[in-house]
Amino acid sequence: MTRYVQDITGEPARTPSAPDGSPSPWERALSEARQALAEVGQFLFPSQNAAYAIRQSRRAGGLTAQRLDAATAALTTGRDLLHTHFTSAPGHPRPRSEWSSLITSAPVSQALLTEIGALAHQAATLTLASQPTGNDRTRQQLTAACRRLQTIDTAARTAYQQQPIGRPGHDLLRAIPVNMLPPPRTPTGRESVAELCAGAIRSATRLRRLAWTSAQQPAWSPDLNITSLRQVAATSTITSHNCHAILLTLADWAAQHREPDLGAELTASAAAAGHARQQWLEAARGLEVVTTDSAGHVSPAAAESSTLATWIGRLAHADPAWTLSNGSNSAPRIPASLIASPEDLPHVVAAIHHACEALSLTGRMQAHEVLAAGFAHRILVPTRSLPGRRSGIPRLRCL
């Protein structure tokens, strides 16, 4: 629990402070938790030798001790999960995924402090109810430690009453996944609509994480090359086009089932996907007139963008063997083929949402990469495209 509250780097203090500049309720609760846990450590481990002896001792056989051991293992695992979203380099940890900003946000930090307070209260209550054995001094120290643990819960509850965070903070905390790349998978042609949706979501998850990882690499990375940039732009154009087509099909389904409000929202979403398609198309055209100092290598993110385009394409078209080379020549799915029952609608919408979110992140990350490559003089353009063209300069020139 001490490690958890040390990980909270002051985010709860982002809540509004009092007019006189005094600490906010969450800032006071965080300070109280850190102080309480420090005192608990002094009660339980009055010396370094005692702490070392406890760590080296065998696990106690009592039921209460076993439950506390299990809680310790669960807390350690949960903290390890959160830390997969940050680098393990010494100093201030750097983000490794798009979830990192959420983990350090005020709502999640406050929810985490509330959870630690509740766990501290449970551990203290469980320990006191077990009637621990030992000499009088040992029991007194353990009782004092438990009472101090309970004050963490009180401080967090007080902060919650004064500045409620609501359920979203707790729901977001529980939704944080481990930052692990799912294994790759390509469609076989035998998938149902539900399986195509699941495959698209898996591929979109892979693309987001690969795009994020690629953007953290140095400007000289071989993954940053014109071949990969063009492939991402081309496949993202296709994916956006098919998302647009699927959303229009869903809007037709809503109209057939007399859901005008839903149909209007789906039509608006289709228009947004169409706009994204146009933007990706312009990016693809722009990349045709530039190159990089290396080419030919396809980055993992570029390869996954092709896979995502295939999953979404098979969801959009009636041909179960649709490929990127088919383009828009294949017949689209009819509404009844895409949505056999109303329960299918959320799955299809979720697949489109994940695909569009992955493309959005990929676009931002690639813009970052291109800027970095430009500063490193890796972007080359034909001299004929430069203003004030002169003779005697190379055919290609650094941008």
Q: What does the pLDDT look like over 292-326, one tens digit per residue?
A: 887 778 999 999 999 999 999 999 999 999 999 98
Provide the pLDDT for residue 54.
57
Identify the bridge partners of residue 317 per DSSP, sorted by sequence position: 332
Q: Looking at this protein, which amino acid is placed at residue 73?
A: A
Predicted confidence band of residue 396 (pLDDT cuts 50, 70, 90): very low
pLDDT (mean) for 363-368:
90
CB 241, CB 249: distance < 8 Å: no
CB 337, CB 246: distance < 8 Å: no
Rounded to a whole number of angstroms, the CA Rg of the chain reads: 28
Q: Inter-axis angle of helices 136-162 and 106-129, to 10 degrees?
A: 150
pLDDT of 276 > 50? The answer is yes
Least confident of 21-25, 152-156, 181-185, 281-285: 21-25
pLDDT (mean) for 231-251:
96
Q: Which is higher by pLDDT, 196 or 10?
A: 196
What global pTM score does this model have? 0.76
Kindly state the tokens that stand for 334.
């009819």
CB 265, CB 349: distance < 8 Å: no
Kindly state the tokens that stand for 271.
């228009």
For residue 82, which of 100, 69, 65, 68 has the smallest C-alpha distance? 100
Predicted confidence band of residue 393 (pLDDT cuts 50, 70, 90): very low
pLDDT (mean) for 97-106:
88
